[in-house]
Structure formats: C-alpha cells, structure tokens
Amino acid sequence: MPANDALHLDRLRIGDLDAVSLTLAPGEILCLSGTSGSGKSRLLRAVADLEPHDGEAWLGGTAQSSVAGHQWRARVMLVPAESHWWADTVGEHLADARPADLVALGFTPEVLDWQVSRLSSGEQQRLALVRALSREPSALLLDEPTANLDDATTRRVESWLKARIRERGWPVIWVAHDPAQIARVADHHRHIVGHRLVKEVGEWA
C-alpha cells in the first residue's frame, strides 16, 4: 500500500447531526447507514466541503479550511449517488481511466466511444466510479455506490472497489443500506440514530 494520509473529522457538524469526530486510517472503509433523510449525504457533502458546516476535516496534515474547495475535492473525492456528465461521449470524461478498471466492471474499451445519453443508470454509476478513481484521489466518499445495480454486479463492484482501496490506501466513507454489503466491505460501521452516529459492532468491527 502506498504511503497515504488518514482522514480525520474533528467535530464536523451539519444539519441536525451532532458533531462528528472520527479517524480513518489509509485503506480503511467506514460504512455509514441510516434512514432516508437522516443526513448521510449531507455529511459526505460537508466532508467534501460542498456545504457550509462547522468543525474541521483533515487529510493527513492538511486542514480542509486551509485549501480551496476544488483543491480539497481533488484529494477528498465525492462520488455522489447521481453522477454528472457534461460532454457527449464517455471517453471525454474518462481520458485517464485504466482499461483494467473498465474490464473489471464489465465494459470493453469501446465504451469510451459510447454516447453518454445511451448509458443506463447502472452504467452511469459504474463509469462514475471508474472516473473518480482514475483521478488518483487521496480519499473517497462513496454515496450508495451500488444503488442502481443487480446483485451480481453489486458483488463485482464491491470486490473491485475493495481491492483498489486496499491497493491505493484510500480512507473511505461508504454510505450503504444493505447489512450484507456492510458486513462484506466495512472495517467500521456507524449507524445514524436520531442525531448521532452510533458505533455498530459486528463480526467485521
């Protein structure tokens, strides 16, 4: 695993959630679950510095507040539940994608010639993950990365993500609903209960 930085949240506060403090070591996956509207996506957006919030986030020795938002997000990369596409073809968004990553997620390299307009929601989701990882971030924030996928494809994406996370040493916050998925991928699990992130202890913890 390459030398990498830990992600540390220091009394981060947004919306109705109590202040959140936690540290993720390089290569560690924290799964975050909670009912709809409990604040999972907003917390990720605060960590990505996309919404005003209190408290601080650190990547290694770099404080979120010490760098411009776009510079922070280039390192602490958010993959939202709904991906955004701005050019006509897939290839225009994935210039740096590794062919092996495309193949791992079930595509052939010809996918780069496809029009974005033809992509299914599951194809968009998988390609948005490849795009994010191709930008060589330092940490990942994944908002329900398998929400649009069938079981077999979900397993495929999980395996690929986990392998790449371990290989690159990214600290990761992964919003997930499925307890079976959480058991498969999480090093740590926090569940939102009321206004708090509660530690869930399972066989993976």
Ligand X SMILES: Nc1ncnc2c1ncn2[C@@H]1O[C@H](COP(=O)(O)OP(=O)(O)OP(=O)(O)O)[C@@H](O)[C@H]1O
Contacts of 26 (CB under 8 A, 6+ apart): 1, 3, 4, 5, 6, 169, 170, 171
> In this complex, which beta carbon is closest to ligand X, that of residue 22 or of residue 63?
22
Count residues near ligand X (CB under 6 A): 9
Shortest reach from residue 175's CB to ligand X, in Å: 7
Question: Is residue 42 at the binding interface for ligand X, with CB under 6 A as the rule?
Answer: yes
Dist. CA 191–CA 150, nearest whole Å:
24
**Residue of 30, 31, 40, 46 interacting with ligand X (CB under 6 A):** 40
Number of residues that make up the chain:
205
Q: Which window, 31-39, 65-73, 151-159, 179-187, contacts ligand X (CB under 6 A)?
A: 31-39
Question: Is residue 34 at the binding interface for ligand X, with CB under 6 A as the rule?
Answer: yes
Contacts of 202 (CB under 8 A, 6+ apart): 182, 183, 189
> In this complex, which beta carbon is closest to ligand X, that of residue 42 or of residue 155?
42
Going by C-alpha positions, the residue among 64, 53, 48 that lies closest to residue 14 is: 53
Shortest reach from residue 201's CB to ligand X, in Å: 22
Shortest reach from residue 94's CB to ligand X, in Å: 26
Collapse the DSSP code of 19 into the 3-class scheme (helix H, G, I; strand E, B; otherwise coil) and give the result.
coil
Site residues for ligand X per CB under 6 A: 15, 34, 36-42
